[in-house]
């Protein structure tokens, strides 16, 4: 099962529609979550027909305009729990697999409503006890490393978002590809890049979907890139060996930096998840060390 999530900044542009169709053709997801569509339901229905899919669901936010829509390839693979202007909540029911919860999420875009966004996210926690994954545009940053350019992100906003995820017992899933998902002001002194789009999961979902991979896909018709979550890792993901700590790493100062960084980044999360986070960080760092030491590698 795979899901494509994209803040497309409007489906009224035929080029954006073609890009959605091309992404679906290449990645073959079962679900597509589109944010900030700025069109009515008839546009989304035409997209569904163009894709040859069986269902779609739209959330109207301002009269005839729909901000959120979810399309699915086959019926009977999900059941709606709830929806609002900021989310669509589903129970995913795949054959021969345990049910789990998928929340398609759009955080309030207004900077003055950050606290509202955190409180709303926390309010979703009690809707189900199933393993949980949330994906979409959160309009929030988790660390200063989630931003490049212009002014630093206010630490109070980072702390508020971290606290909301901690209450929900959710942690960010590692993302393959470019580290930022949104940009503004390209070509000017105010050019900024941020990781506004992400996937967060609880430990139970991650344990039951240990092959899952998240990819950042650069797009042409929006200043947001698309996220592609593949729980079977069938789209060319690099197969990683199981984690094994190497004693030689203790001789490198970078090892301590990785552990401290991962432990700080996962502050407030489950102890088990923090251990997993440290293991993943060391695995990535260790792989880079081995590559740099390989014969013929470039410095």
Q: pLDDT tens digits, residue range 164-182?
A: 999 999 999 999 999 999 9
Q: Flag whether pLDDT at 248 surpasses 70.
A: no
Residue among 243, 277, 268, 285 at smallest CA distance from 160: 268
Domain boundaries, the chain: 2-230, 247-293
pLDDT > 90 in the chain, percent: 63
DSSP-H helix ranges across 94-178: 114-123, 155-168
- Which pTM does this prediction carry? 0.77
Q: Flag whether pLDDT at 295 surpasses 60.
A: no
CATH fold of 2-230, please?
Deoxyribonuclease I; Chain A (3.60.10)
**Rounded-to-integer distance, Cα 179 and Cα 13, Å:** 27
Mean local confidence (pLDDT), 207-225: 94
């Amino acid at each position: 099962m795979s899901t494509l999530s994209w803040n497309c900044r409007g489906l009224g542009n035929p080029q954006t529609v073609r890009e959605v169709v091309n992404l679906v053709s290449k990645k073959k997801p079962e679900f597509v979550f589109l944010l900030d569509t700025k069109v009515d339901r008839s546009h989304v229905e035409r997209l569904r027909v163009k894709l040859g899919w069986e269902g779609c669901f739209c959330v109207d936010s301002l009269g005839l305009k729909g901000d959120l829509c979810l399309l699915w390839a086959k019926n009977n693979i999900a059941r709606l729990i709830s929806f609002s202007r900021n989310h669509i909540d589903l129970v995913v029911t795949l054959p021969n697999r345990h049910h789990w919860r998928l929340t398609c999420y759009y955080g309030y875009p207004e900077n003055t409503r950050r606290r509202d966004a955190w409180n709303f996210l926390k309010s979703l926690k009690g809707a189900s006890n199933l393993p949980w994954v949330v994906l979409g545009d959160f309009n929030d940053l988790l660390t200063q490393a989630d931003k490049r350019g212009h002014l630093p992100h206010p630490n109070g906003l980072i702390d508020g978002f971290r606290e909301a995820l901690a209450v929900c017992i959710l942690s960010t899933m590692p993302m393959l590809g470019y580290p930022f998902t949104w940009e503004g002001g390209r070509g000017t002194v105010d050019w900024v890049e941020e990781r506004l789009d992400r996937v967060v999961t609880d430990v139970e979902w991650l344990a039951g979907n240990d092959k899952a991979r998240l990819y950042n896909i650069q797009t042409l018709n929006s200043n947001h890139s698309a996220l592609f979550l593949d729980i079977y890792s069938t789209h060319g993901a690099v197969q990683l060996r199981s984690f094994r700590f190497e004693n030689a790493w203790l001789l490198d100062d970078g090892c301590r930096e990785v552990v401290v960084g991962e432990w700080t980044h996962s502050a407030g999360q489950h102890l088990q998840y923090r251990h997993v986070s440290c293991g993943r960080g060391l695995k990535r760092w260790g792989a880079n060390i081995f590559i740099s030491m390989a014969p013929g590698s470039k410095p």
